[in-house]
Amino acid sequence: MQVNALNNLDEINEQLLNSLNPEQHEAVISLDRPLLVLSGAGTGKTKVLTTKIAYMIENGYAFPSQILAVTFSNRAAREMKERLFGLTSGADGVWLGTFHSVCARILRRHADLLGMSQDFTIIDADDQTKLVRQIAKELNLEKKSVNGIVNRISLWKDKGYRYDDSRIDRGMMEAQVYKIYQERLECYDSMDFGDLLLNVIRIFKNFPDVLRHYRDQFKYILVDEYQDTNMAQYIWLRLLSPLGEGLCCVGDDDQSIYSWRGAEVGNILRFEKDFINAKIVRLERNYRSGGYILGAASSLISNNQGRLGKKIWTEDGVGEKVKIKRLYNGFDEARFVADQIENLKRFENDDYGAMAVLVRAGYQTREFEDRFIAYGIPYKVVGGLKFYDRQEIKDIVAYMRLVYQPNDSLAFERVINTPKRGIGASAVSKFYEYSRDHNVSLFQAAKDMARENLLRPSVKTAVESFTRLIESVTERKDANPSEIAKFIINETGYLQMLSQEKTTEAEGRIENLKELTTALEDFPDLPTFMEHVSLVMDSPRNVSEDLVSIMTLHSAKGLEFEDVFLAGWEEGVFPHNLCLQEDNLEEERRLAYVGLTRAKKRAFISFVMNRRVHNQWQNNPPSRFLRELSEEDIEILR
Beta bridge partners of 67: 220
CA dist., res. 163 & res. 176, Å (int): 8
CA dist., res. 157 & res. 199, Å (int): 10
> Coil, helix or strand for 243?
coil
SS3 content of the chain, % helix, strand, coil (to 5): 55, 15, 30
Q: Which of 310, 598, 612, 624 is catalytic?
A: 598
Cβ atoms 484, 491 nearer than 8 A: no
- Cα 622–chain centre separation: 26
Q: Which DSSP state fits 68?
A: E
Q: How many helices (H) and strands (E) does the chain have?
A: 28, 16
251: number of Cβ within 10 Å: 23
* Helix (H), strand (E) at residue 601: strand 599-613
> Is 528 designated active site?
no
Beta bridge partners of 8: none
CA dist., res. 79 & res. 414, Å (int): 40
Query: Residue 385 — φ and ψ, nearest 5°?
Result: -90, 160
Report the residue count for the chain. 638
CA dist., res. 461 & res. 455, Å (int): 9
Cβ atoms 344, 599 nearer than 8 A: no
Beta bridge partners of 249: 36, 223
Q: Is the peptide bond before 622 cis (omega within 30 degrees of 0)?
A: no
Q: Which of 71, 88, 128, 255 is catalytic?
A: 255
Query: Longest C-alpha distance within the chain, in Å?
Result: 97
413: number of Cβ within 10 Å: 17
> Is 45 designated active site?
yes
Cβ atoms 98, 73 nearer than 8 A: yes
Q: Which of 192, 195, 225, 228 is catalytic?
A: 225
Q: Which of 23, 58, 158, 224 is catalytic?
A: 224
> Is 159 designated active site?
no
> Coil, helix or strand for 604?
strand
> Is 321 designated active site?
no
CA dist., res. 290 & res. 320, Å (int): 7
Write out the catalytic residue numbers.
45-46, 224-225, 255, 598
